[in-house]
Amino acid sequence: MQRCAGLRAGVSELCGKKIDGMLYERTVISKQPDEVIKYELEELKEADKLSPNLVFRDPYFLDFLGLKDRYLEKDLEDAILRELENFLLELGSGFAFLARQRRIQLDNDDYYIDLLFYHRRLNRLIAIDLKLGDFKAEYKGQMELYLRWLSKYEKQAGENEPLGLILCAGKKQELVELLELDQSGIHVAEYLTELPPRKLLEDKLHQAIENARGRMENRGNEDG
Protein backbone atom coordinates (compact mmCIF):
# COMPACT_ATOMS: atom_id res chain seq x y z
CA MET A 1 0.00 0.00 0.00
CA GLN A 2 2.92 2.35 0.68
CA ARG A 3 4.19 1.69 -2.84
CA CYS A 4 0.76 2.51 -4.29
CA ALA A 5 0.55 5.73 -2.31
CA GLY A 6 3.96 6.90 -3.50
CA LEU A 7 3.32 6.06 -7.13
CA ARG A 8 -0.16 7.54 -6.98
CA ALA A 9 1.34 10.79 -5.75
CA GLY A 10 3.93 10.69 -8.52
CA VAL A 11 1.35 10.14 -11.23
CA SER A 12 -0.85 12.86 -9.75
CA GLU A 13 2.00 15.36 -9.70
CA LEU A 14 3.18 14.59 -13.21
CA CYS A 15 -0.28 14.56 -14.78
CA GLY A 16 -1.23 17.77 -13.02
CA LYS A 17 -4.47 16.51 -11.54
CA LYS A 18 -5.73 14.75 -8.46
CA ILE A 19 -5.91 10.98 -8.80
CA ASP A 20 -7.74 9.18 -6.04
CA GLY A 21 -7.07 5.58 -5.08
CA MET A 22 -9.93 4.24 -7.18
CA LEU A 23 -8.56 5.81 -10.36
CA TYR A 24 -4.93 4.92 -9.70
CA GLU A 25 -5.75 1.24 -9.19
CA ARG A 26 -7.58 1.24 -12.52
CA THR A 27 -4.61 2.49 -14.55
CA VAL A 28 -2.67 -0.15 -16.45
CA ILE A 29 0.60 1.13 -14.99
CA SER A 30 -0.47 0.15 -11.46
CA LYS A 31 -0.14 -3.51 -12.47
CA GLN A 32 3.36 -3.16 -13.93
CA PRO A 33 6.67 -4.06 -12.19
CA ASP A 34 8.33 -1.33 -10.14
CA GLU A 35 11.12 -0.78 -12.66
CA VAL A 36 8.61 -0.25 -15.49
CA ILE A 37 6.61 2.23 -13.42
CA LYS A 38 9.72 4.15 -12.41
CA TYR A 39 10.98 4.31 -16.00
CA GLU A 40 7.67 5.50 -17.46
CA LEU A 41 7.20 8.14 -14.77
CA GLU A 42 10.72 9.43 -15.40
CA GLU A 43 10.03 9.52 -19.15
CA LEU A 44 6.90 11.56 -18.48
CA LYS A 45 8.68 13.93 -16.13
CA GLU A 46 11.93 14.41 -18.03
CA ALA A 47 10.84 14.06 -21.67
CA ASP A 48 7.09 14.74 -21.38
CA LYS A 49 6.56 11.33 -22.99
CA LEU A 50 3.21 9.84 -22.03
CA SER A 51 2.96 6.05 -22.02
CA PRO A 52 -0.25 4.19 -22.99
CA ASN A 53 0.06 2.51 -19.58
CA LEU A 54 -0.75 5.89 -18.02
CA VAL A 55 -3.72 6.40 -20.35
CA PHE A 56 -5.61 3.11 -20.43
CA ARG A 57 -7.67 1.88 -17.48
CA ASP A 58 -9.22 -1.38 -16.36
CA PRO A 59 -12.08 -1.51 -15.61
CA TYR A 60 -13.96 1.41 -17.12
CA PHE A 61 -16.96 2.70 -15.18
CA LEU A 62 -19.93 3.05 -17.55
CA ASP A 63 -22.69 3.19 -14.96
CA PHE A 64 -23.71 6.63 -16.29
CA LEU A 65 -25.06 4.92 -19.44
CA GLY A 66 -28.10 3.69 -17.52
CA LEU A 67 -28.00 0.19 -19.04
CA LYS A 68 -29.72 -2.52 -17.03
CA ASP A 69 -29.81 -6.31 -17.39
CA ARG A 70 -30.02 -7.30 -21.06
CA TYR A 71 -28.89 -5.07 -23.92
CA LEU A 72 -27.31 -5.39 -27.36
CA GLU A 73 -23.96 -4.10 -28.60
CA LYS A 74 -25.86 -1.45 -30.56
CA ASP A 75 -27.61 -0.37 -27.33
CA LEU A 76 -24.20 -0.01 -25.68
CA GLU A 77 -22.83 2.00 -28.60
CA ASP A 78 -25.94 4.21 -28.79
CA ALA A 79 -25.77 4.89 -25.06
CA ILE A 80 -22.09 5.85 -25.29
CA LEU A 81 -22.81 8.35 -28.06
CA ARG A 82 -25.73 9.82 -26.11
CA GLU A 83 -23.41 10.24 -23.14
CA LEU A 84 -20.30 11.05 -25.19
CA GLU A 85 -19.15 13.82 -22.86
CA ASN A 86 -19.25 11.50 -19.84
CA PHE A 87 -17.61 8.71 -21.84
CA LEU A 88 -14.75 11.04 -22.80
CA LEU A 89 -14.32 11.98 -19.15
CA GLU A 90 -14.12 8.30 -18.21
CA LEU A 91 -11.59 7.60 -20.99
CA GLY A 92 -9.40 10.38 -19.59
CA SER A 93 -7.92 13.60 -20.92
CA GLY A 94 -6.58 13.87 -24.45
CA PHE A 95 -9.20 11.81 -26.31
CA ALA A 96 -11.05 13.31 -29.28
CA PHE A 97 -13.98 11.52 -30.93
CA LEU A 98 -13.61 10.93 -34.68
CA ALA A 99 -16.14 8.40 -35.94
CA ARG A 100 -18.74 5.76 -35.19
CA GLN A 101 -18.86 2.54 -37.24
CA ARG A 102 -15.83 3.55 -39.33
CA ARG A 103 -16.16 1.54 -42.52
CA ILE A 104 -13.25 -0.53 -43.83
CA GLN A 105 -13.36 -2.16 -47.27
CA LEU A 106 -11.07 -5.09 -48.06
CA ASP A 107 -11.50 -7.34 -51.10
CA ASN A 108 -15.15 -6.30 -51.46
CA ASP A 109 -15.85 -7.12 -47.80
CA ASP A 110 -16.96 -4.49 -45.31
CA TYR A 111 -15.70 -4.22 -41.72
CA TYR A 112 -16.63 -1.62 -39.14
CA ILE A 113 -14.67 -0.10 -36.25
CA ASP A 114 -17.19 0.58 -33.49
CA LEU A 115 -15.62 3.82 -32.25
CA LEU A 116 -12.58 5.73 -33.48
CA PHE A 117 -10.76 8.30 -31.36
CA TYR A 118 -7.55 10.29 -31.53
CA HIS A 119 -5.35 10.87 -28.49
CA ARG A 120 -3.49 14.17 -28.66
CA ARG A 121 -0.73 13.39 -26.15
CA LEU A 122 -0.07 9.91 -27.52
CA ASN A 123 -0.31 11.33 -31.06
CA ARG A 124 -2.10 8.30 -32.43
CA LEU A 125 -5.47 6.89 -33.44
CA ILE A 126 -7.33 4.73 -30.91
CA ALA A 127 -9.78 2.12 -32.22
CA ILE A 128 -12.36 0.89 -29.70
CA ASP A 129 -14.26 -2.37 -30.15
CA LEU A 130 -17.29 -3.05 -27.94
CA LYS A 131 -18.13 -6.61 -26.84
CA LEU A 132 -21.01 -7.78 -24.66
CA GLY A 133 -19.57 -10.99 -23.25
CA ASP A 134 -16.16 -12.20 -22.13
CA PHE A 135 -13.05 -11.56 -24.22
CA LYS A 136 -12.37 -14.24 -26.86
CA ALA A 137 -9.11 -15.07 -28.62
CA GLU A 138 -10.51 -14.27 -32.07
CA TYR A 139 -11.02 -10.64 -31.07
CA LYS A 140 -7.26 -10.18 -31.35
CA GLY A 141 -7.20 -10.89 -35.09
CA GLN A 142 -10.14 -8.59 -35.68
CA MET A 143 -8.47 -5.68 -33.89
CA GLU A 144 -5.12 -6.36 -35.57
CA LEU A 145 -6.87 -6.01 -38.93
CA TYR A 146 -8.33 -2.66 -37.89
CA LEU A 147 -4.97 -1.37 -36.65
CA ARG A 148 -3.08 -2.42 -39.76
CA TRP A 149 -5.69 -0.80 -41.99
CA LEU A 150 -5.58 2.41 -39.95
CA SER A 151 -1.79 2.40 -40.07
CA LYS A 152 -1.76 2.00 -43.86
CA TYR A 153 -4.62 4.28 -44.85
CA GLU A 154 -5.40 6.71 -42.01
CA LYS A 155 -2.20 7.38 -40.08
CA GLN A 156 -0.76 10.80 -40.88
CA ALA A 157 2.92 11.66 -41.22
CA GLY A 158 4.48 12.13 -37.80
CA GLU A 159 1.82 10.14 -35.96
CA ASN A 160 2.58 7.06 -33.88
CA GLU A 161 1.13 3.66 -34.69
CA PRO A 162 -2.61 3.25 -33.86
CA LEU A 163 -3.65 1.44 -30.70
CA GLY A 164 -6.69 -0.74 -30.02
CA LEU A 165 -8.92 -0.93 -26.96
CA ILE A 166 -11.29 -3.90 -26.67
CA LEU A 167 -13.98 -3.28 -24.06
CA CYS A 168 -15.58 -6.49 -22.78
CA ALA A 169 -18.00 -7.41 -20.03
CA GLY A 170 -15.36 -9.80 -18.67
CA LYS A 171 -11.99 -11.37 -19.41
CA LYS A 172 -9.77 -14.25 -18.33
CA GLN A 173 -6.36 -12.84 -17.50
CA GLU A 174 -4.30 -15.90 -18.46
CA LEU A 175 -5.83 -15.92 -21.96
CA VAL A 176 -5.10 -12.21 -22.38
CA GLU A 177 -1.48 -12.65 -21.27
CA LEU A 178 -0.84 -15.71 -23.46
CA LEU A 179 -1.96 -13.77 -26.54
CA GLU A 180 0.66 -11.06 -25.77
CA LEU A 181 -1.72 -8.37 -26.95
CA ASP A 182 0.56 -5.54 -25.88
CA GLN A 183 2.98 -6.52 -28.66
CA SER A 184 0.19 -5.81 -31.15
CA GLY A 185 -0.73 -2.50 -29.54
CA ILE A 186 -3.98 -3.90 -28.12
CA HIS A 187 -5.38 -3.36 -24.64
CA VAL A 188 -8.29 -5.35 -23.22
CA ALA A 189 -10.37 -3.92 -20.39
CA GLU A 190 -13.60 -4.73 -18.64
CA TYR A 191 -16.45 -2.26 -18.34
CA LEU A 192 -18.99 -2.02 -15.55
CA THR A 193 -22.48 -0.72 -16.29
CA GLU A 194 -23.45 -1.13 -12.63
CA LEU A 195 -21.00 -0.47 -9.82
CA PRO A 196 -20.72 -2.72 -6.75
CA PRO A 197 -20.25 -1.18 -3.28
CA ARG A 198 -17.07 0.92 -3.15
CA LYS A 199 -15.31 -1.28 -0.57
CA LEU A 200 -15.92 -4.41 -2.64
CA LEU A 201 -14.66 -2.66 -5.77
CA GLU A 202 -11.53 -1.38 -4.02
CA ASP A 203 -10.74 -4.87 -2.71
CA LYS A 204 -11.19 -6.33 -6.19
CA LEU A 205 -8.88 -3.74 -7.77
CA HIS A 206 -6.19 -4.22 -5.13
CA GLN A 207 -6.37 -7.99 -5.60
CA ALA A 208 -6.07 -7.58 -9.38
CA ILE A 209 -2.88 -5.57 -8.90
CA GLU A 210 -1.36 -8.16 -6.58
CA ASN A 211 -2.32 -11.01 -8.92
CA ALA A 212 -0.81 -9.25 -11.94
CA ARG A 213 2.43 -8.50 -10.11
CA GLY A 214 2.59 -12.08 -8.85
CA ARG A 215 2.24 -13.48 -12.36
CA MET A 216 4.97 -11.16 -13.64
CA GLU A 217 7.32 -12.17 -10.84
CA ASN A 218 6.68 -15.86 -11.52
CA ARG A 219 7.43 -15.39 -15.22
CA GLY A 220 10.61 -13.54 -14.32
CA ASN A 221 11.73 -16.40 -12.07
CA GLU A 222 10.97 -18.95 -14.78
CA ASP A 223 12.92 -16.96 -17.38
CA GLY A 224 15.81 -16.62 -14.96
User: pLDDT per residue over 168-222, tens digit each?
Assistant: 999 988 899 899 998 999 999 999 998 877 777 777 777 777 776 666 666 655 5
Taking residues 27-41, what's their average pLDDT? 82
Residue 22: φ, ψ to 5°: -65, -40
Note if the pTM is more than 0.75: yes
Kindly give the pairing relationship between strand 95-106 and strand 109-119. antiparallel
User: In the predicted model, is pLDDT for residue 137 greater than 50?
Assistant: yes
Q: What share of the chain is helix, strand, coil (3-state, %, to 5)?
A: 50, 20, 30
Hey, where are the domains in the chain? 1-54, 57-199
Which residue has better confidence, 85 or 20? Answer: 85
What's the rounded mean pLDDT across residues 143-155? 97
Residue 126 near residue 163, CB atoms below 8 Å: yes
Mean pLDDT of the chain: 85
Is the distance from CB of 11 to CB of 42 less than 8 angstroms? no
Query: How far from the centroid of its chain's Cα atoms is residue 152's Cα?
Result: 23
13-17, 33-37, 127-131: range with lowest mean pLDDT: 13-17
In Å, how far are 52, 93, 218, 219 from 33, measured between CA atoms?
Answer: 15, 25, 12, 12
Q: Which fold has domain 57-199?
A: Trna Endonuclease; Chain: A, domain 1 (3.40.1350)
pLDDT at position 165: 97
Give residue 224's pLDDT: 58
Query: Greater confidence, 114 or 45?
Result: 114
Distance separating alpha carbons of residues 71 and 69, to the nearest angstrom: 7
Mean pLDDT computed over 110-122: 96
